[in-house]
Amino acid sequence: MFSGYFIAVIISVWIVVFGYWMYVRDKEKSI
Amino acid sequence: MTFLADKKNKIILFVTLIIIFVNLWTIIYLAPMIPDQEWAQRIFYYHVPLAWNAFLGYFGVMVFSITYLISRDTKWDVLAQAAAEVGTIFCLLILITGPIWAKPIWGKAWTWEPRLTTTLILFLLFIGYFMIREFGGPYERSSRYAAVIGILASIDIPIIYYAVDFWAPQVQSHPQRDMGGHASAVMQVFYFSLFTFTLIFINMMRYRSHVRKMELLKLEDENV
């Protein structure tokens, strides 16, 4: 059985990494 | 040209994505269960590689900033800014994943012990770094100021790393640096995770510096 804490870490890490990637992508599009 | 229009970048990103999923699979199915901590222990396969890469980013800021101040070549400033941004994203993730691990293990999400406090200070120093970049005036001046702050802020990295040696053990609840005592299965999964996050770091650095370079080229075109 997965721990909620472990899932929270996985989700938060990928939200932040993906969010940053999208931020850079937006900057790229605005050039 | 956009970053992903280059076939090489696309292949590297695709391989990284596959490795990310393989890494997650190894953490869930291959890593041995540590009796005291159960699933919470697996957070470390994310937390520690994130920390290493945050430090790698900040170490990069120091090296690139020194090189920029000596050479005044914009290329180094671009790299310093990319390393600072990616390093800060990873530092933010240390500050998110650390308390999530600490809550079930220590019973509380945060304590003001040396390593946690110095990590928070490092994060705040780099918030200042970005403020200087944003509001520091003309490009040449703000990047020079930012380089100086980047070098000074990097002094905090060895303090964090050796925090467990500098302060008395009774004020620390943090795991020590020595990881040699772990089983080899734990270390194999850990090293693979370290490799995975370093790949992510490299992808992010390459993308950010590419976009920053394009931005500067556009600015130059506008000024000519």
- List, for residues B100-147, the tens digit of each pLDDT value: 988 888 888 888 888 888 999 999 999 999 999 999 888 889 999 999
pLDDT at B71 over 80: yes
Confidence at residue B175, expressed as pLDDT on a 0 to 100 scale: 58
Per-residue pLDDT band at B211 (split at 50, 70, 90): very high
Instruction: Provide the b/e sequence for B132-170 (b: ≥16 CB within 10 Å).
Output: bbeebeeeeebbbebbebbbebbebbeebeebbeeeeee
Instruction: Read off the pLDDT of each residue in B62-85 and give the average, rounded to a whole number.
Output: 95
Per-residue pLDDT band at B37 (split at 50, 70, 90): low
Which of A3, A12, A24 faces B39 most closely, judged by CB atoms? Answer: A3
How many Å lie between the alpha carbon of A1 and the closest alpha carbon of chain B? 9
pLDDT at B178 over 70: no
What is the share, in percent, of chain B residues with pLDDT greater than 70?
92
pLDDT at B153 over 60: yes
Which residue did the predictor score with more confidence, B169 or B93?
B93
Q: What is the DSSP letter of B26?
A: I
Is B211 in Cβ contact with A28 (below 8 Å)? yes
User: Whole-angstrom Cα distance, residue B98 to residue B91?
Assistant: 10
Per-residue pLDDT band at B30 (split at 50, 70, 90): confident
User: Whole-angstrom Cα distance, residue A11 to residue A17?
Assistant: 10
Per-residue pLDDT band at B172 (split at 50, 70, 90): low
Q: Of the ranges B4-8, B35-39, B159-163, which is most confident?
A: B4-8
The pair of three-digit structure tokens given for residue B194, joined into one six-digit string:
């370290």
What single-letter amino acid sits at B35? P
Per-residue pLDDT band at B203 (split at 50, 70, 90): very high
The pair of three-digit structure tokens given for residue B15, joined into one six-digit string:
């391989």
pTM of this structure: 0.90
- Is the CB of A23 inside 8 Å of chain B's CB atoms? no
- Token look-up 């012990």 returns B113
- Write out chain B residues lying below 8 Å of A8, CB-based: 100
pLDDT at B180 over 60: no
Confidence at residue B77, expressed as pLDDT on a 0 to 100 scale: 95
- Write out chain A residues lying below 8 Å of B40, CB-based: 3, 5-6
Instruction: Read off the pLDDT of each residue in A18-22 and give the average, rounded to a whole number.
Output: 96
Which of B40, B208, B214 faces A6 most closely, judged by CB atoms? Answer: B40
Is B96 in Cβ contact with A3 (below 8 Å)? no
